[in-house]
Amino acid sequence: MRLKIYFCGSIAGGRRLAATYREIVQHLEALGHRVLTRHVAFDDALDWEEQLGPREVFARDMAWLAESNALVAEVTVPSLGVGYEIAEGLSLRRPVLCLYSEGADVSRLITGNTRPGLVVHSYPAEAQMLAVIDAFMADVGAGGGK
Ligand code: 6IA
């Protein structure tokens, strides 16, 4: 089933892992899903985004969040916006996957979070990261996407 995925990755929090975000988005698209927020991974798209004001970015992102079937968040680089999106996604009862590179000092509000629908996983290398995404997407698909 083709699903709408809201991908979250750090923007103001720092672009150090932009290549990893691209890997995730391209993988989700290769699985046949639609990534509503692919601009988070592609810097050239962010240049275009600069034409939008903060209120427009917020309104559009919240509309996409509501439209999405599930969230995939790369949380290795701490980001206020990503934390906000995760909380909002859980409130809307969307399944949320939080991924981070093994050894990263991720907020305990994520690693210790027991809210239903949240899956938190570290990965030692990119190959394992993609396998975690595959397992999560298989679960989301089996649950009908919401
Ligand atoms: O606090 P952060 O900026 O790191 O939050 C990143 C998250 O918030 C991402 O997952 C995005 O979904 C969302 N977000 C934050 N800023 C933008 C944005 N800025 N455009 C779209 N989504 C955003 C416009 C471009 C900027 C370079 C001026």
Q: Please report, in tens digits, the pLDDT of each residue of the chain (146 residues total).
A: 899 999 999 999 999 999 999 999 999 999 999 999 999 999 776 676 678 899 999 999 999 999 999 999 999 999 999 999 999 999 999 999 999 999 999 999 999 999 999 999 999 998 899 999 999 999 999 886 65
Q: Would you give the end-to-end CA distance of the chain in angstroms?
A: 12
Task: Please report the pLDDT score of residue 48 as a whole number.
Answer: 67
Looking at ligand 1, which atom is closest to the CA of residue 80?
Answer: 1
Distance CA 111, CA 26 (A): 26
Distance CA 41, CA 126 (A): 16
The reply to whether ligand 1 has any atom less than 6 angstroms from the CB of 117 is: no
Residue nearest to atom 1 of ligand 1 (CA): 81
Distance CA 81, CA 78 (A): 9
The one-character DSSP state at 100 is E
The one-character DSSP state at 40 is G
